Amino acid sequence: MATEAKEKSPHLKRFHYTQDIAVDKPFNWQQTVRLLKYLKPYSKKILPIAIIAMLVSTIVRLVVPILVGRVAIDMAIDTGNTNLLIQLVIGIAIMYLFSYIGNMVRIKYVNLLGQNVIYDLRRHLFSHVQHLSNRFFDKKSAGSIIVRIMNDINSLQELFTNGIINLLMDIVMLISIIVILFVLSPPLAAAVVIVIPIMFYISTKLRKRIRRSWQQVRIQQSRLNSHLNESIQGIRITQSFAQEQENTEFFEGVNSDNFDRWQTATRKSAMFRPFVEMSNAFGTAVLLGFGAFLISQDALTVGTFFTFALFIGMFWEPISRLGQMYNQLLMAMSASERIFEFLDEEPNVKEKEDAVHLNDIEGHIEFDHVQFAYDDERIALDDISLEMKPGQSVALVGHTGSGKTTIANLISRFYDPTSGAVKIDGIDLRDVKLDDLRQKISVVLQDTFIFSGTIMENIRFGRPDASDEEVIDAAKVVGADEFIQRLADGYETEVEERGNILSAGERQLLSFARALLADPKIIILDEATASIDTETEVKIQSALKRLLEGRTSIIIAHRLSTIRDSDNIIVLENGQILEQGNHDELMAHGGEYYGLVKSQFQALDQM
Ligand SMILES: Nc1ncnc2c1ncn2[C@@H]1O[C@H](COP(=O)(O)OP(=O)(O)OP(=O)(O)O)[C@@H](O)[C@H]1O
């Protein structure tokens, strides 16, 4: 559930963080069954071993009090049978050894089980999210996706590691103790057992309050994280606008809120232990009072009384743990609901079952009366029909928001048209295999994404099986080799995440090399040369020519000098084609393009 926390300082309106954290949900059978399905691969080996180990140690814990009370006290000590006593001590020691081994095996196997399930769940979720369409990522922030893959899955870890086996153990233990107590002395058992529901109720309520207060701590910490993340990412802008003081003030507010909530949570948590001890004392008081009475009436032996006393000590632990387990389950409900919400998300762009392979293509692109809208409110492309011939370079120009990037998005099939069709070599994109299609297209964006790793690996991203020589050749062709050689470790230089150590232009050259290496039939340059200064651009013009040679290229550029030589220039406005032709034709036509060119030259003249 996303909750918007109230700002402590009303003047700090700038800071708005929605908390995307799990808050407990009611118990849901369907979801539980779906979660338990993740245990299935382990139901043949790991799970049974964990259960058997758990049963061994539980049986020992249940048998020892009976042996001590009924056999040692009532039979051996009472009758002075030392032999029996010695045998008993040895027997109990051996049983404890078994219990010790059982516990070790249980802990090892429940951890193995938990880790395996979490591993599977995380892998499943990540691979599913990787295949979701752009529409999904338009709506979800990177942060909220990461929270689900990491935090929500982590919060299920405890359930799968200890939760399920402990639940079984506690249920077995509690039921067995109750049965044994009733067999040993029904009246005393009735007196002691009557308090269970009350204690269970109070324990669950208390735990709920404790859990809620820890949730508050987590909400506050999530705000702290969001603020911290934004402050560090945006530190340059913060410093240049001298907003440090405001940032610090807000941080202090959230930090002190965090402190207060933490204190409340620890205060409430501290109440729990005394409660368990009080319950213990209460049970013992009932046992002592009523038990002594029964002994005086000869209705109970001292040994049975002792067995009772030992069992009462073991009684509250499973009850309080079951309360905790119940709370854990409610938390798991919320986390799993959020995980399943992502898992149930279907990609909007889906590959058909009978999709055909795109083998060697010519690179002929056609838009046939394409209509497209990102949402219900606005149409992004309105009845677009156009043709890009194999090997042609086509430029898309037009004002901001006119639909240029949208056309590129549809060619890569990041979205499907609302009506009409986009075709490659005459085949509707919806009928071809997605991987094949995307392998035939390279997209170079203005904001190139550089992954952490070496320069060599970053270029090789274009074609993972390329040799070092091929990578270097590609870099040379686009003119990136020169700056790479100047770096401390050349091609082996490590670039941190997002390539901060490189200039925007250098990052751009890397992305050219990456695209060239991929050797696509179609190449899309979306504002790709915007970060390169005019002088460098002139230098790499020939490289660009090499990059585009023999490929159908779609170039989106605001700087019109870049697209002057394009075979066809398409001018867009509000998602429609206004005019098209080559530079000379459009200039002669004296329409929108002519106007755009003139205004850019005027702007240059005035500089
Ligand atoms: N992911 C999206 N979700 C909703 N609307 C979008 C999305 N992307 C673009 N739009 C809208 O679609 C319209 C066309 O956008 P598009 O990005 O194609 O324009 P553009 O011509 O490439 O602009 P620019 O020159 O600024 O890059 C705009 O009105 C824009 O607000």
Q: Please write the tens of the pLDDT for every residue from 511-536.
A: 889 988 988 999 998 887 776 777 76
Q: Within a 10 A sphere around the Cβ of 275, how many other Cβ atoms?
A: 16
Q: Is the CB of 404 under 6 A from ligand 1?
A: yes
Q: Are strands 552-556 and 393-398 parallel, antiparallel or unpaired?
A: parallel
- Kindly report, as residue ranges, where domains of CATH 1.20.1560.10 are found in the chain: 29-178
Distance CA 528, CA 517 (A): 17
pLDDT tens by residue, 298-330: 888 888 888 888 888 787 778 777 777 777 787
Q: Model confidence over 318-376: pLDDT tens digits?
A: 877 777 777 778 778 878 888 898 899 888 888 888 889 988 889 999 999 999 998 88
Angle CA(398)–CA(402)–CA(407) in degrees, nearest 5?
95
Which tens digits make up the pLDDT trace of 452-470?
888 999 899 888 899 999 9
Contact at 8 Å (CB) between 449 and 502?
no
Output the CA 445–ligand 1 centroid distance in Å. 14
> What pLDDT, on a 0 to 100 scale, did the predictor assign at position 413?
93
- Range(s) of the chain covered by CATH 3.40.50.300: 388-406+444-606
**In this predicted model, what pLDDT tens digit does every residue of 163-206 receive, in sequence order?**
888 888 889 998 998 898 899 888 888 888 777 777 778 777 88
Closest C-alpha to 328, from 24, 3, 6? 24
Nearest CA to ligand 1 atom 4: 374
CA distance 325 to 267: 21
From the CA of 380, how far away is ligand 1's center (Å)? 7
Ligand 1 neighbour 381 (Cβ under 6 A): no
CB 384 within 8 A of CB 575: yes
Reply yes or no on domain 29-178 having CATH 3.30.9.100: no
Does pTM top 0.90 for this prediction? no
CA Rg value for the chain: 35
pLDDT digits (tens, 9 = 90+) for 421-450: 999 999 999 999 998 998 899 888 877 788
Q: Which residues of 481-491 are buried (b: 16+ CB within 10 A; e: fewer)?
A: bebbeebeeeb
| Nearest Cα to Cα of residue 203 among 272, 277, 285, 284 | 272
Residue nearest to ligand 1 atom 30, measured at CA: 401
pLDDT tens string 214-262: 778 877 877 787 788 778 878 888 888 788 888 888 888 888 988 999 8
Pocket test for ligand 1, best of 367, 402, 576 (most atoms within 8 A of CB): 402
Amino acid at 492: E
ipTM value for the complex? 0.95
Residue nearest to atom 26 of ligand 1 (CA): 400
CA dihedral 246, 250, 252, 254 (to 10 degrees): -170
Tens-place pLDDT, residues 8-60: 444 455 666 665 655 666 778 888 899 889 999 999 999 999 999 999 999 99
Class of domain 388-406+444-606: alpha beta
Q: Output the pLDDT for position 241.
A: 78
